[in-house]
Amino acid sequence: MGASEDPQHIIKAYSEVMQDIERTEIDNVAEEIEKVSRVRQDEEEWIKAQKKYLWKLDYILLPAVTILYFFEYLNRGNVGNAKLYGWDAGHNSEKEAVGLGAKSLSSSGLPLVYADEPLPVSSGALEDLFGMRIVYYLSLWYHRTELGMRVSWFLGPTSIAGAIGGLIAYGIGRIRSDTPAWKWLFSLKPCLFFGWDYSVGTGCQTAQIRTHASPAQLPTGGWMRKLRLSPDGAMISSISGFLQTIIRNLGYTEATKANPMTAPPYASAFILMFLASYSSDHFCNRGRHVTILMSISTIISTIAYALFATLPEANLHGKYACVCIAVACVYATYPPTQAWVANNFGNETKRPISMGLYTALGNLGLRRGISFTWGLSIATAVLALASHMLLEAIDKRRDKKYRRPVPGQSLDVSEFADSAPMFRFIT
């Protein structure tokens, strides 16, 4: 047997080859581990930079719009407080001019409405789309998965303004003056603020920060059913204008007692509003949150009606607790609903036009006025669930037909907007 056929020699050669292969594999594994480490480090640095950018953006944008809307809503909510101090005494609240002023959401000129002045109607017409314009403005800066919490920071002051407005009305009611207390309430006016222009080419951003702003320009879109805003908007407007009257009818008959009792419902609404907004952003789902909150509001309202029928008038705590929960649930749907609208319109040409149309058609539900017999919570829950199921079905159909989109992938929606094959709605 030759040396070349020596079994020991073959085994040794085989062992050397296997060792070389193992060393190569180990080197390759080490390289892969190093690559993964570098990627993870880059991702961590990117995430830190992104968070830093968002903090700076929040600091620049949110205080201005938050304070602005706070004073606007504080002024609007004074209508209900003033009513308890005799503002509607001697006035015909059924007058058409009053209806126009209420529908235009103007409170700054309401005393002039009775003189058939055009000023309050014109002022209210400009105020009417104020909230939706700010939502559109924020959608230019933030990615749609970040928009829910930012909208809640903008709309959160609506509940805080209601609470503070009740306390202010309580203090004003203690003033001893020949001037009626309701006139003092209307002296509260909004403040002026200036915000940054569109997020591209803004002086507040460095070139490095603009790279982190680019994900916010990813397309947002989807055609939402405008009917959903009609019952939701009616409930929000009803609460801001009539919560004081509702609390008075519970048994808190004195104005100086009824006005401060509006603070707890608004405070609970503020907390639930932020929790719902955070959850809707985290799970990237708006419709289910609105449906659940409105279902809870419906159940609580049913319990409240039962308590009104069974409990004596002196027992106010159970009735008042139901009012607090119902108000909180209604207000908590406000930021997810508004963010949902901005999320699902395809591009920046379609979005402002559609959002304006959405608000205009949605507010048609306020034409008749407020009626406590309408099933507004049920209507909102049903419409929200229907919108959720419809958009979810469209997304699944597109996934099946075109495949799932890659997360973070940039899409061209300039031509087809939310009808683009790879666009997916937020449900």
Q: Tell me the C-alpha distance between 122 and 133, whole Å.
A: 17
Residue 106 is predicted with a pLDDT of 38
Can you say how many angstroms the Cα of residue 74 is from the centroid of all Cα atoms in its chain? Answer: 18
Percent of the chain with pLDDT over 70: 54
- pTM score, two decimals? 0.63
Q: Name the residue among 387, 362, 391 with its Cα closest to residue 131.
A: 362
Residue 338 is predicted with a pLDDT of 79
Residue 212 is predicted with a pLDDT of 41
* 185-207 confidence digits (pLDDT tens): 666 554 444 555 555 545 545 55
CB 246 within 8 Å of CB 261: no
Residue 156 is predicted with a pLDDT of 78
Which regions in the chain score pLDDT beneath 50? 1-4, 94-119, 190-193, 201, 204, 208-224, 367-373
Residue type, 21: I
Residue type, 153: W
Q: Tell me the C-alpha distance between 405 and 416, whole Å.
A: 16
Question: Based on C-alpha coordinates, what's the Rg of the chain?
Answer: 29
- The DSSP annotation for 312-353 comes to -TT--HHHHHHHHHHHHHHHHTHHHHHHHHHHBS-STTHHHH
CB 255 within 8 Å of CB 314: no
Helix 7-84 with 147-155: angle, nearest 10 deg: 20
Query: Bridge-partner residues for 221, per DSSP?
Result: 344
Structure tokens, 423? 């666009």
Residue 112 is predicted with a pLDDT of 39
Residue with tokens 């049903």: 382
Q: How far is CA 286 from CA 15, 213, 262, in A?
A: 62, 24, 28
What the chain holds in terms of domains, given with CATH numbers, is 45-189+220-419 (1.20.1250)
* 107-132 confidence digits (pLDDT tens): 333 443 444 444 455 555 556 556 67
Residue 339 is predicted with a pLDDT of 78
Residue 60 is predicted with a pLDDT of 82
